[in-house]
Structure 1
Amino acid sequence: MKVKVRLQPIVSNINLPTVLKTAMFPGDSFERLFIATQVGEIFYTGNGIIKTFLDIRSRIIELGTSNGGYDERGLLGLAFHPKFYYNGLFYLHYSVVGTQGPGALPESFNPNPCDPKTLNLKWLNRENQYDHIDTVEEWILQSNGQPQKRRTLLNLRRPFFNHNGVNSLNFSPETGKLVLTTGDGGSGYDPFNLSQDFMEIAGKIIEIDIDKNTFIYNPPVVTRFFELPVSIQETLTVIAKGVRNAPGISFQRFCDRYIKYVGNVGQDLVESIFSFSYYKPIPVTQLIQAYLMNSDPDQERFINFGWRGWEGDFPSPIIRNCPENLDLDEKVITYYNDAVITSAKRIHPLINYFHQDPRPDKFKGTSLTGVQPYMGNRIPYLTGSVVFTDFARRNEEIQAPVRGVLVYTRVRTDCKPNDFSVIETDYNFGYQSAYYVSLGTNLGQTRLFLGVHGSANVTDFNKGTVFEIVP
């Protein structure tokens, strides 16, 4: 069924709005919308005005300097403690100023199935060959209304500039723990296969027990779990691996349990959304014990999204032009062995959508940027559905301003994959491009917020708008 909505502007002329969350200030009686921008500002709205909550631009790595203005670093995660109203605690994930390195590889990576060397690369000399450092911090809103940093939870060395996750911090309503989604480290095709390695922090979904005090104010910079101090290891459990790059995790209450949704940004073929309810996380201390004993950890009911062997429901391909017919593509399995090894251990996506889709009522995807369940009743046909956004609708045939796309799907009761439908919007962006960079919701999941930017470059300032999606 076709659904049409309106985009109602809330605030304009801001930088890239990467995270959209609501929270209630101590002493307040209503939720406020918080907007975190990639360059390091956090705003909040209320009574029709916008105010600055926190400005950490001086803490953020210089963005857009080496990739023509495009960047995937910056302020990537913001989460409010479930008891923020009482304790004022909130959490940040960002790329740290002054940590720029040369990168883990001297040139761009392209695997070649005919060259085994390209399929078995190792990340060597990690202390020197890296791109930047990401940090996860705990902050507190003091009684005088000023935020202040309390402690650092993790310092992570990242091999490349991209695939750091976005909307990467969220609290689990099931466990009360802070959930961190980490991308596979970047480049393309996961050159070091970090996402499947249990010892690598990259490419995982990790729960952090923030109620445990590690008594370490500034942890060491690491890439692997065994490099962490024991007191930090004891705060961590791993929910999932095989993550390429995820726009966060979202939770939908269903009777007495929660359905979890995680999007996995694709490489060449598809974007994927996974859902699961029952799972068995593995404590990091158990992973390290298995590693030291050279054995496999118990993976019963552990979640594996399959990357890098699988891109959604398909063995990860390399797509090349057919020299005899340029209108056709040749698709070669990139990592055959990886696909075989993970074929029985991975979960299947709730939905795939394609970078090339010939159906007239669909669209050609670029990059998944947000996944949220909608439990409100103002847009009746969307109630109970899963709404998602794509960065930009591909359209090679015509030269026109870029438009992102808003989409929805439903979870089938028989657990089989479902199709999706494009949500029509009425907003006229004119001649300006409109990249859909984030999707957010309020605490009750009855309102949806859309972050849009007029450019793909982080160096193009003040081109962002945040909308509420309304009937």
Structure 2
Amino acid sequence: MIKVKVSLRPIVSRVNLPTVLKTTILPGDSIERLFIATQVGEIFYIGNSSLRTFLDIRPRIIKLGVSGGGYDFGGGYDERGLLGLAFHPEFYYNGLFYLHFSMAGTQGPGALSEPFMPNPCDPRTLNLKWINRETQYDHIDTVEEWILQSNGQPQKRRTLLNLRRPFLNHNGVNSLNFSPETGRLVLTTGDGGSGYDPFNLSQDIMEIAGKIIEIDVVKNTFINNPPVVTRFNELPVPIQETLTVIAKGVRNMPGISFQRFYNQYIKYVGNVGQDLVESIYSFFHYKSIPVTQLIQASLMKSEEEGFINFGWRGWEGAFPTSFIRGCSENPALNEKTIAYYDEALKTSVRRLQPLTSYFHNDQRPDKFGGTALTGVQPYMGNGIPDLTGSVVFTDFARVEESQSPVRGVLAYSRVRTDGKLNDFSVIETDYNFGPQSAYYVSLGTNLDQTRLYLGVYGSMKVTDFNQGTVFEIVP
């Protein structure tokens, strides 16, 4: 693949951890503004070269950096907070926008009291159930509809969903996006967290976790404060009737993006990996199944199939899910054991194959070891001609022993018309971050996908404040 070099042009610095970067045109305005949502709950936009506050919901966000147990990454790291921001396609006229965040005051003890590890020799670890959900959970996430009033003040209109989550991680990020095909709001949720999806929520079709869901925001359910749920069949019928499911088998996703191709759209999603590999998928066609139909099928004990399955937890990208441990006989090597053999078989032919994958350990000279996929966006601009029409992605932090301080990675791939696995190439950048760490935490585009924006953070802890810089990726 062509070696691509780009520059990073800083747009704004000293912000909190940026989770969403996207543009829109404010009502009465004439130009697209870049909006930056931070994990702690602020939404800014760039107005006439200054940073302006659009909305600040910090008091509504759960206290970050502390967890109820089960899966604690150490002080300050967190995957909760303000996770999604989407502007209605008619935002300029109707002022509607949507938020997904972890709610203040909802901290629970977590679904398990200790970290989970599957053991292929112990069936109990392979068949865990999430019980006592009303008390054994980590937090509650909410999806809300807001309106920008004529006086310029945003106001909440209604709550669309309240979701109880088992662990602090895998809640999705950049998790709300509108589909240009259906006009619906697309919510990408993670599998609920811990690691290895202890309760196999991502494959269970009644579980909201681990799915891609479309929400018809045109329908008014007249339910302003929906119940807190974990399963589709716990929702009131008017809410069920607004929802369709387009995919399952999600581990954790940094959003969905749409690339126009003649009169259709290619959809891109990334699935964050466990121990082995990070994967990017593309698809044209999909079957979206109404939740009411799924519940009917479940009551009749029939399997409703036909939508996309990314294969998790049986598969991690193109590989059966494994766990990795050192070899006592040879410390330079490691042993990879298939964690869920039966599930890998069950989903082997039903799952979507990745477009491209990259590995946590890769010795090839032009590749890199990754840690977690943090953004996937198509680029349709001409400014960087070698990238035109390709899909660009970011990884949180490059794994190279010699490398200190930390650096994230920017890379790209292309869609193959034969559907086969494609290669990827690292995009070289010339920016000097100095002695500061630079975790690549988010990737965004403008409305017509001719500009790319990169969110970088100087720490992996959300509680180390004001260490964020947002760049435009330029030739």
Residue 332 (1) aligns with residue 337 (2): yes
> Partners in 1 of 2:468 and 2:146 — Cα distance?
26
Distance 1:143 1:149 in 2: 14
Summarize the alignment of residues 264-343 of structure 1 with structure 2, pairs less than 5 Å apart: 264-297=271-304, 299-300=305-306, 302-343=307-348
Q: How do 1:404-423 and structure 2 match up within 5 A? A: 404-423=408-427
2:204 aligns with 197
**1:244-283 aligned within 5 A:** 244-283=251-290
* Consecutive aligned runs of 4 or more in structure 1 exceeding 6 Å deviation: none
Letter of the 1:37 counterpart? T
Whole-Å separation in 2 of the counterparts to 1:347 and 1:426: 36
The alignment status of 1:213 with 2:220, answered yes or no, reads: yes
How far the C-alpha of 1:173 sits from its partner, in A, is: 0.1
Structure 1 CA distance for aligned equivalents of residues 182 and 403 of structure 2: 48
Query: How far apart, CA to CA, are the structure 1 residues paired with 2:116 and 2:66?
Result: 20
Matched, 1:9 2:10: yes
**Aligned partner of 2:53: which letter?**
T
Q: Which residue of 2 aligns with 1:392?
A: 397
CA distance in 2, matches of 1:414, 1:307: 24
Deviation at 1:399, TM superposition (A): 5.2
Residue 143 of structure 1 is matched in structure 2 by 150
Matched, 1:156 2:160: no
Kindly, what percent of the aligned residue pairs are identical?
A: 80
* 2:91 alignment counterpart: 84
1:417 and 1:107 mapped to 2: Cα distance?
Answer: 37
Normalised to the residue count of structure 2, the TM-score between the two structures is: 0.98
Q: Please list the CA deviations of residues 29-82 of structure 1 after superposition, one character each: whole Å capped at 9, or x if unmatched.
A: 110000000000000002211100000000000001243100000000000000
**Counterparts of 1:65 and 1:431 in 2: how far apart (Å)?**
28
- Matched letter for residue 47 of structure 2: G
User: Over residues 225-248 of structure 1, what are the superposed CA-to-partner deviations in whole Å (9 max), with x where a residue is unaligned?
Assistant: 000000000000000000000000
Number of residue equivalences: 468
Q: CA deviation at 1:258?
A: 0.3
Q: Which residue in 2 is equivalent to 1:374? A: 379
CA deviation after TM superposition for structure 1 residue 294, in Å: 1.1
Residue 129 (structure 1) aligned with residue 136 (structure 2): yes
Cα distance in structure 1, aligned partners of 2:403 and 2:265: 43
One-letter amino acid of the counterpart of residue 44, structure 2? F
Q: Distance in 1 between matches of 2:425 and 2:56?
A: 38
Match of residue 453 from structure 2 = 449
Aligned to 2:407: 403
SS at structure 1 position matched to 2:92: helix
| Residue 428 (structure 1) aligns with | 432
CA distance in 2, matches of 1:352, 1:24: 35
Superposition RMSD on alpha carbons, in Å?
0.6
For 1:423 and 1:10, the matched residues in 2 are separated by: 20
**3-state SS of the aligned residue for 2:394?**
strand
Helix, strand or coil at the partner of 2:177: strand
Structure 2 residue aligned with 1:52: 53
Partners of 1:167 and 1:75 in 2: CA distance = 9
**Secondary structure at 2:332's aligned position in 1?**
strand
- Following the alignment from structure 2 to structure 1, what is the Cα–Cα distance between the partners of residues 185 and 404? 41
Which deviations, in whole Å up to 9, do the C-alpha atoms of 1:227-282 show, x marking residues without a partner?
00000000000000000000000000001100000000000000000100011111
SS in 2 for 1:370: strand
The amino acid that maps onto 2:436 is Q
Match of 2:388 in 1: 383
- The answer for the alignment partner of 1:75 in structure 2 is 82
- Which AA in structure 1 matches 2:15? I
The separation in 2 between residues aligned to 1:306 and 1:177, in whole angstroms, is 25
Larger mean Cα displacement after TM superposition, 410-419 or 96-105: 410-419
SS in 1 for 2:351: coil
CA distance in structure 1 between the partners assigned to 2:362 and 2:24 by the alignment:
39
Q: Deviations over 1:103-134 (max 9, x none)?
A: 00010101111111000000000000000000
Partner residue in 1 for 2:108: 101
- Tell me the equivalent position of 2:123: 116
Amino acid at match of 2:371: T
Aligned partner of 2:349: which letter?
A
* Aligned-partner residue type, residue 453 of structure 2: F
Shift of 1:423: 0.4
Question: Which whole-Å CA distance do the structure 1 matches of 2:53 and 2:203 have between them?
Answer: 40
The letter for the 1-side match of 2:395 is D
Deviation for aligned residue 1:415: 1.6
2:442 maps to 438
Q: String of CA shifts for 1:333-383, please: whole Å, max 9, x gaps.
A: 100011011111101000111001110111001000000000000000100
| Residue number among 332, 354, 357 corresponding to 1:352 in the alignment | 357
Deviations 1:180-203, CA, capped at 9 Å, x for gaps: 000000000000000000000000
d(CA) in 2 for partners of 1:268, 1:114 = 20
Partner of 2:65: 64
Tell me what 2:467 maps to.
463
Matched letter for residue 471 of structure 2: F
Q: Return the TM-score normalized by structure 1.
A: 0.99
1:177 aligned partner: 184
Q: Where does structure 1 lack aligned partners over 5 or more consecutive residues?
A: none
Q: Distance between the aligned counterparts of 1:44 and 1:399, measured in 2?
A: 34
Q: Deviations over 1:442-467 (max 9, x none)?
A: 00000000000000001100000000
Partner of 2:236: 229
Q: Report the equivalent of 1:24.
A: 25
How far does residue 412 in structure 1 lie from its aligned partner after superposition? 1.2
One-letter identity of the residue aligned with 1:354: F
SS in 2 for 1:285: helix
What residue number does 2:41 align with?
40
Deviations along 1:302-359, one digit per CA (max 9) or x if unpaired, are: 1000000000000000111111011101111100011011111101000111001110
